[in-house]
Amino acid sequence: MELLDKIKTRQTLVGIIGLGYVGLPLVIRFCEVGFPVLGFDTDPRKVERLNRGESYIKHIPAAGLAPLVSPAAGPPRFTATSDLGRLGEPDVLIICVPTPLTANREPDLRYVENTTRAIAATLRPGQLISLESTTYPGTTEELMLPILSGRYRVGEDFFLVFSPEREDPGNPTHHVQTIPKVVGGVTPACLEHGVALYSQVVERVVPVSSTRAAELTKLLENIYRAVNIALVNELKLLCLKMGMDLFEVIEAAKTKPFGFQAFYPGPGLGGHCIPIDPFYLTWKARQYDQPTRFIELAGEINTNMPHFVVGRVAEALNEHGKPLKGSRILILGVAYKKDVDDNRESPGVKIIDLLKQRGARVSYHDPHIPHCTGMRHYPELDMKSAPLTAETLHKQDCVVLVTDHSAFDYAWIAREAPLIVDTRGAFRGLEGEHIFPA
């Protein structure tokens, strides 16, 4: 049976490489519609837990995984492995590996390249390969295709597409099934196979003319957000100096039924996409001698926000007659966004590091992240979440709200904490000269 027919009848074995915040929801969705799935991850601890039906991601409950691993009847729908020698088994391979930046803010594609080389070692006719990791325009054709084309012809023997992930961890409204899927193929046959695959699991597939168009689509989505967040962060700095409440202004502006979308200021960008993706395009643009000043300015503003927050903490302490050095400071929230258990690229971690550099005695509380350790930029970081009690708050010289989790009782914190620096506007409306916006 041809691959296209196997996809349409859901008889293909789907291989998903990278079983994290992007890969694991894909596993569940493909299994839900009847595909058998073989998951790949280089972390043997993750593989072991998944094969027991356990989830290590808070918003993906084990109840959704366990029936796939140990069904009441029949063989497992999902198995995880760390053996990349099995990459030749699936008919479809979906790559969901990290694409971070180097220390010089240049694309770090070693995970994509290493994965592609592993696939090439076992590549066989009749396989479809889809890259979902965010990257610069040209990656699929310029990096992956030459590695895969040694023995076989793309569009005839094997098929290669790019389809950017659009996961929003913790979003209760939008899921894999309901988020439209953009797909670009190296050849028309590649595109046909990619559209056929994703049409089985999502309600709407959006084909584009090339893999480069699909790659740039994802960058545009995240650059749009980064630029608008930079805009409101810059307005926040101005409003603080003018004695105005930017949150009030945003709420008023968003009553306009057209031409405006609300974005909110904060302590800086976090997560695996928005702080990183714009720099993938600025790097690529330099190859064409084309400056991207607007994007780079937004990155500069957002990158500087943790430094601004630390400056506001110093100002707030100074007004209370205390120096930053030696002060006890509690950070509320180290997750990169509200109500998730993910602290990748979190501004909270950067703020902790900056405060420690200036001699502060820092602790944190986050109901979603009990242990904060082992981050790429902060390899020595090893902290446990402090209990959020009245006694803990009373001991602090300053409490800094970084992530506005729903679990926090803001009125109670405002009563118990001696000094608060609020980066999210969560304490608006609560009385007290001890509350400083930042």
The residues annotated as belonging to the active site are 273
How far apart, in whole angstroms, are the C-alpha atoms of residue 119 and residue 243? 58
Tokens of 288: 């064409």
The type of residue at 190 is C
Tokens of 132: 């979902």
Instruction: Identify the helix (H) or strand (E) that includes residue 151.
Output: none
Alpha-carbon radius of gyration of the chain = 24
How far apart, in whole angstroms, are the C-alpha atoms of residue 146 and residue 132? 18
Pairing of the two strands 371-373 and 382-384: antiparallel
How far apart, in whole angstroms, are the C-alpha atoms of residue 414 and residue 419? 8
Name the phi and psi angles at 296, rounded to 5.
-70, -35
50 in Cβ contact with 18 (< 8 Å): no
**C-alpha distances in angstroms, 173 versus 66, 85, 202, 273, 429?**
23, 38, 15, 20, 29
70 in Cβ contact with 84 (< 8 Å): no
Describe the crossing of helices 277-286 and 293-319 by its angle, rounded to 10 degrees.
140
How far apart, in whole angstroms, are the C-alpha atoms of residue 335 and residue 403? 7
> Got the DSSP string for 202-222?
SS-EEE-S-HHHHHHHHHHHH
How far apart, in whole angstroms, are the C-alpha atoms of residue 87 and residue 386? 43
* Torsion from C-alpha of 50, 54, 56, 59, nearest 10 degrees: 120
**Partners of 78 in beta bridges:** 37
How far apart, in whole angstroms, are the C-alpha atoms of residue 74 and residue 381? 45
List Cβ neighbours of 47 (8 Å cut-off, separation of 6 or more): 19, 39, 41, 80, 81, 82
Give the residue carrying structure tokens 């100096």: 241
